[in-house]
Structure formats: structure tokens, C-alpha cells
Structure 1
Amino acid sequence: MSVSERILEGRSVLLLEDEEMLAMLLEDRLVDAGATVVHVFGKVRDALSFLGSNGVDLAIVDVNVAGEAGELVGEVLADKGIPFVFSSGYDESGMDERWRNWPALRKPYGSSELTVALRQLVEGRPPAPLT
């Protein structure tokens, strides 16, 4: 994602990702896109605790976080009306039925897929579900 595409200008982002290198790369891309704050979590319980008393503008949520269901964080985000996209290395059959048509980025995804998904979240148009 290029710095000229500052589609997240002034926004805060929650990133739930247990793969440390991927989390660092994504954090850099989100900051490059203009995010003022990126809250990075590698554990579901930490993200849930944060969301208990804080809000964000949007989120990227890994479906499988070290064997835990990232979908639990998705439930809180959905209840709060916070736009988010799942991130998964699996197809939708590995997700709870409730979330199978929810927007998701399929790992490995590139900068262009990330940019499109973020732009859609910012514009209030959810990204397309996994296919």
C-alpha cells in the first residue's frame, strides 16, 4: 500500500493476528495508509478486554488465533457497529455458519486486496465474502 493512498487518515484500527511477522507487516501498511493508531493483539482475550472499554474505527480479525476463535471478537465488533473484515488462510467452511458470508481476506493476500478491503470498510461497503 503506498503512502499516497492514505485511506485510513485519522482512523484507529484493531488488528487481531497471531503471526507476529504478519502483524508487524500489516501494522506498517495500516500506518502507511494513514491510521493514527493500530491496536495489535495476538490473543483473543486481549482484544476482547480492549474492546470492553475502548472503541476503534475498523478492524482486521484473524479467524484462527493460536487455536482460538477470532470470531468472538467479530461478535463484539458487530454488536458495536464497528466495520471489520476477517482474515483467514482457510475457506469459509472453517468458520462458524453465522460468519460464512462475512467479508474476509484470504491469506496470503497482497497489498491490492488489502487496499480494496480497507477502502470498502471506510466507505461503508463491506468487502466481498470469501469465494
Structure 2
Amino acid sequence: MQTPGLSFVFCAISSALEQEWSVSFKDNSLNPAIFYAFLRRPRGISVLEQGVTPEELLRSHLKFRQKIMRDLNLQLLPDISIEAYFDKSQRIRTDQRKALWRKSVIIGLIEMWLFPFKSEAKKSQWLGDYTRLAARKG
């Protein structure tokens, strides 16, 4: 992907799972603090791996996706058509928009301000409800 008007190029790989779960791996991000403060979703796992090739990113994504599917007893969504992709993307954006309306801007700005103090692991991944649910099932 390339951001229009910028020379910023990045690779993102995403998988849609049952029960509204998704797993996304990216090799770059314009501003992870904004994502963390305002766009994260409980069932939207996001991992940032900078400085890797697209092949390494794909391998990491597939390995982690298998772990999540096994831990939460989930399957991939069977429909991989472009229409299903756009429908899923629109639902995610709608969910993010609804969450933004409910979120306090002040709390979001405080989360953005505190973001640089987080560990590198916390800065590079958002696991949402996954850790809690996997621990309960395991």
C-alpha cells in the first residue's frame, strides 16, 4: 500500500475469522499512538513488525493466526471475495466510528501522551480480548 500524496509505502496482511475476530500484521505505521488511543477494537488483533520483508511478515502472520484459531477455537471466514473484504472493512470502520463517539477525547489524548512510555511489546501489538479469553480456555 502507498498513502496518496506521500512516499510512505507499507505492507499489511489481514485475516478475517469467525465471531468478528480479525488478525492484522503490518510492517509500518504512520502513528501507532493514534491507533492505540482511538482505533483499537476488542476483537481486532494488530501487530506491527518493522524492518521485515513481506515474506517474513506473512510467515509471522500465518503462525500467529494459527495460534489464535487454536486457542479460541475459531475458523477463517470462508468467503474471500472482494465484496466480502469490502463489507468486512466497512463493518470495522463503522465499529471504530461508533467506539469513537463513545470514547472520551480527553482519555484518548492521555493514552496518546502515555504511549511513548509503554514497553516496545505493548507499542507493537494490540491483542484486545485475546489474552484474557485464551487464558480462560486454556
TM-score, reference length from structure 2: 0.28
Q: Which structure has more RCO (C-alpha within 8 Å, separation ≥ 6)?
A: 2
Q: Which has the higher helix share?
A: 2
Rg bigger for which structure? 2
Q: Which has the higher strand share?
A: 1
